[in-house]
Amino acid sequence: MRLQTRASTLSPEFAHMLMTTLLPRLQSTMRRCSLNIQMLLDLCSSWISHYPAEKTWSHVSITGMNEYELEQNKQADDYTVRDLNTDPKLPYDDQSFDIVTCTVSFDYLCRPLEVMKEVGRVLKVGGMVLLSTSNRCFPSKAVNIWLQTGDMEHVLIYGSYMHYAGCFDAPEALDLGGPLSRLGFADPVYVIRAKKSS
C-alpha cells in the first residue's frame, strides 16, 4: 500500500549491502528486539528489509527514495517515498512505532540529527531505535565524515546522534562481525541501539 509519494528519478539498485554470512546475525538481533511488539518502521529502506523471515509483529512501514524498489519489499505493509535529505520530517504521528530501524544507510543522510529527533518523536516511550553499520557503502553517496573515519568512529557517530537527540537512554553497540570480521573473512557489522526514555 502506498501512503505518500514523491516523484523519484533514481534508478533501482537491487544490491545486497551485507554479506550473506552476516545477515543471519543481524536478523537474530532483530528477532530478539522485536518480540512482543506491534509496529515497525524501516528508514532508508529498499527492496529488502533485514528482518527475520518469521513475522512476530503486526505492521511494517518503510520509507525510501525509490518507489520501484519499495514496491518489491515483501515484508512491508505500506511504504512512503521520501528524500530525508530534502525533508527530514517523518510522515507519521507521534509515538506510532515500537521499533525504528535503519540498515547500513544512515551514513547517506545529510541531516542525521534532525532525522534522529524525528525518530524519537515517532517512537513510543520505551521503544527502540536500531541502526546497523558496515564498512560497505556507495562512496559517491556517503557524507564526507563517514568516508574520513573508521569503524569505531562510525559507532561513536551513530551513538552521538542518539545522545544529542535528547530523548534516548545511553546507546549501546553490538559487534556482529566477531572473529570472522577480525580475520578479514567477513565485513564488520555493528548495531547501535537505544531506548526512548521520554
Digit-coded pLDDT (tens) for 11-51: 545 445 554 555 666 666 666 666 667 899 999 999 888 88
Interval 107-118: pLDDT, tens: 889 999 999 999
How many Å apart are CA 104 and CA 137, to the nearest integer? 8
Q: Which residues of 79-93 are buried (b: 16+ CB within 10 A; e: fewer)?
A: bbbbebeeebebebe
Indicate the CATH number of 2-6+16-195 among 3.30.1360.40, 3.40.50.150, 2.40.50.140, 1.20.1260.10. Answer: 3.40.50.150
What pLDDT is attached to residue 14?
Answer: 42
| pTM of the complete model beyond 0.75 | yes
Q: Which residues pair with 64 in a beta bridge?
A: 81
More confident residue, 90 or 181: 90
What pLDDT is attached to residue 6?
Answer: 43
What pLDDT is attached to residue 85?
Answer: 94
What pLDDT is attached to residue 154?
Answer: 84
Contacts of 152 (CB under 8 A, 6+ apart): none
Distances 73 to 37, 38, 61, 96 between C-alpha atoms, Å: 20, 19, 10, 21
Angle of helix 112-122 versus helix 151-165 axis, rounded to 10: 50
For residue 46, how far is the Cα from the chain centroid? 11
Q: What is the mean pLDDT of the chain?
A: 81
How many Å apart are CA 81 and CA 44, to the nearest integer? 9
Interval 117-160: pLDDT, tens: 999 999 999 999 999 887 665 555 666 666 676 778 889 999 99
Full 3-state SS string of the chain: CEEECCCCCCCCCCCCCCCCCCHHHHHHHHHHHCCCCCEEEECCCCCCCCCCCCCCCCEEEEEECCHHHHHCCCCCCEEEECCCCCCCCCCCCCCCEEEEEEECCHHHCCCHHHHHHHHHHHEEEEEEEEEEEECCCCCCCCCHHHHCCCHHHHHHHHHHHHHHHCCECCCEEEECCHHHHHCCCCCCEEEEEEEECC
Angle of CA points 142, 143, 147, to nearest 5°: 75
What pLDDT is attached to residue 119?
Answer: 98
